[in-house]
Structure 1
Amino acid sequence: MNFKKVAVFITLFSLWLTNYFSGSEQELVAFFLIFSVGILHGSNDLAIMSKLRSVSGLRRLIIVLGSYILVVLIAGAFFYWLPELALAGFILFSAYHFGEQHWESLETLQPKGFRGLFFAGYGLLILFLLFYTNMGATQEIISSLSGQIIPESWFVYGLLSSLVLTVIAVFYLLVKKQIDYGRVAFECFLLLVFGIVFRYADLIWAFAIYFIYWHSIPSIFGQLKYLYGEVSLPSFKLYLKSSSIIWAISVGSMLMLFYIFKDNQEIIMPLFFAFLGAITFAHSFIITRMYGQKKPNE
């Protein structure tokens, strides 16, 4: 069965659960999903980098691990010293990353500049839809991260601009026969579903629903195909084995920060998104290279 059909059902079921979960309970479930599946989907980056690079042995380990850690540290430093710039970069990188994964079937679309603009535009549409429907909570997090209060009009302009960009790009794809009307109708339905979920779920729960069901799990499927040639239980076991150390370090580091700042609840959510931002920069670079390279096992 097509996973997207299953994901629609799970998404609507998760929306239904909001009737029975309080705000704090939604956050608890959201953090559990993000720390488990969400962090896991980015924990096999070193294995992907190893396959992308034609080096071996100790030298490979030093290059791969050093490059990854360096990017994460630089991103973390930006969030500490230049939070406004880091936040803007995080949103743009995340938008492109979400769009690239969602439209993976169009990875060979030409021209390359248009492809990148389309991926970023679609990802921004998803993010600004989330921001707009949770405007107050989003403003609080951005203010805590950067010290800046974002006017409500910015969310409206961002949503409208990304919508216009996406519509123009989809129309171009239809004219070029890169996609069909059935796919467009399904994507419009998905946007309606996302809008309803984002509107009625709390910010972190709404983010988790999209991030887990529509990004992390499909991304894991793509990584399994790239690394092992198939999506199966044996390949998933190999995936878990190779990603377990990085996953444990990531989750352990985040939980340690939560413990250190447990008496300052206001900083928990900004700290969480800053942590996600730091690892997103490195992860998005790696996945883009993975998509750009012909999959060895296919």
Structure 2
Amino acid sequence: MSKYSSISIVVSFFGLWIDSFFSHQVQIIIGFLLIFSFGILHGANDLLLIENIKEKKDPIPFFKIVSYYALVVLGGALLFYLLPWLVLVLFLIVSAYHFGEQQWQSLNQKASKRFSVLFQFIYGATILFLLFAFHLHEVQKIIFQITKISINTLHIITALKIIVAILFISGIYLYLKFDTLRKLLLTETLYLLIFIIIFKSSSLIWGFALYFVLWHSIPSIIDQTKFLYGNYSFELFITYCKSALLYWGISILGISVLYLVFKQEQLFNALFFSFLAAITFPHAIVITKMFSDKDKA
């Protein structure tokens, strides 16, 4: 277990303790502040990462990357209105793989590519559906608001059982085949138990914020900093933040404008969701390429 993971465990349980002092509304506000700070920040250096990936020969000009994100947002909003359920499904699939890849990036050096992708996706999906399972009715309400489709909560529980079964069988396979992964498997199992405690003991937004910031975003920033600068330190972390500041500011400005203009209209749901998808989809691809490039080094 790394030093940072130990800190994350302590901070996670501290977060569960202090949430008892906050009202549900305050938890939502603080949770979103955390998500919009470190959560958005960890995906704000994609352009710099692309420029440092060996497979990418020519850097992408600033105006092109901004235009690309703008087109994805507008295209996502349109697709969201036409097929909102499809965008939601794609968003969950990409997010699940992205979360699992961050936790199990070392698996790429051990198992086959296909198995690694499957296991990383299943692990990430387990995290998401554990969160959903402890907040069934709230998740059901959000899905209906987005897609106008009423999901039976039993379907979420059934999906979780299937996913956990696949994860368990895959984990047994890894445990028996790779001696070097046994310690990591036990460690990640412990983390899943911690996630269960977090999700069960907190509200939907607060639980997601604790996981997303402490267990995904900050570890991702650490990995990105090591990739960009060859090492990690507090000074390099500040350097990372400075280089990401402009793109982070654009993202926050975009979300703020959408909220101010469309906060009382149904259109905001589509625009806000497509904006998050616009950040998540390209970011997940860049991080996958970063890990692949690092494995080749």
**TM-score, scaled to structure 1:** 0.90
Aligned equivalent of 1:54: 57
Q: Which segment drifts farther, 42-51 or 100-109?
A: 100-109
Once the two structures are TM-superposed, the CA of residue 78 in structure 1 deviates from its matched residue by: 2.6
C-alpha distance 225-77 of structure 1, shift in aligned 2 (>3 A)? farther
Cα distance in 2 for partners of 1:184, 1:79 equals: 38
Q: Which runs of 5+ in 2 are unaligned?
A: none
Tell me, yes or no, if the aligned pair for 2:73 and 2:274 is still in contact at 8 Å: no
C-alpha distance 285-45 of structure 1, shift in aligned 2 (>3 A)? same
Once the two structures are TM-superposed, the CA of residue 107 in structure 1 deviates from its matched residue by: 2.5
Aligned equivalent of 1:248: 249
Cα distance in 1 for partners of 2:230, 2:111 equals: 26
1:55 is aligned with what amino acid? D
Query: What is the aligned residue count?
Result: 294
SS of residue paired to 2:159: helix
SS of residue paired to 2:149: coil
SS of residue paired to 2:224: helix
1:25 is aligned with what amino acid? V
- 1:140-191 C-alpha deviation (Å, 9 max, x unpaired): 1111111111111111111111111111111111112254443333222222
Aligned equivalent of 2:4: 3
C-alpha distance 29-271 of structure 1, shift in aligned 2 (>3 A)? farther
Once the two structures are TM-superposed, the CA of residue 22 in structure 1 deviates from its matched residue by: 1.0
C-alpha distance 68-101 of structure 1, shift in aligned 2 (>3 A)? same
Tell me, yes or no, if the aligned pair for 2:225 and 2:232 is still in contact at 8 Å: yes
Once the two structures are TM-superposed, the CA of residue 270 in structure 1 deviates from its matched residue by: 7.3
**TM-score, scaled to structure 2:** 0.91
Q: Which runs of 5+ in 1 are unaligned?
A: none
Tell me, yes or no, if the aligned pair for 1:142 and 1:270 is still in contact at 8 Å: no
Aligned equivalent of 2:95: 94
Q: Which segment drifts farther, 235-244 or 143-152?
A: 235-244
Indicate the percent of aligned positions where both proteins have the same amino acid.
38
Cα distance in 2 for partners of 1:256, 1:72 equals: 14
Aligned equivalent of 2:293: 293
Cα distance in 2 for partners of 1:178, 1:30 equals: 39
Aligned equivalent of 1:44: 45
Cα distance in 1 for partners of 2:165, 2:102 equals: 21
Tell me, yes or no, if the aligned pair for 1:72 and 1:281 is still in contact at 8 Å: no
Q: Which segment drifts farther, 13-22 or 74-83?
A: 74-83
Tell me, yes or no, if the aligned pair for 1:30 and 1:204 is still in contact at 8 Å: yes
Once the two structures are TM-superposed, the CA of residue 63 in structure 1 deviates from its matched residue by: 5.6
Cα distance in 2 for partners of 1:68, 1:6 equals: 35
Cα distance in 2 for partners of 1:269, 1:214 equals: 27
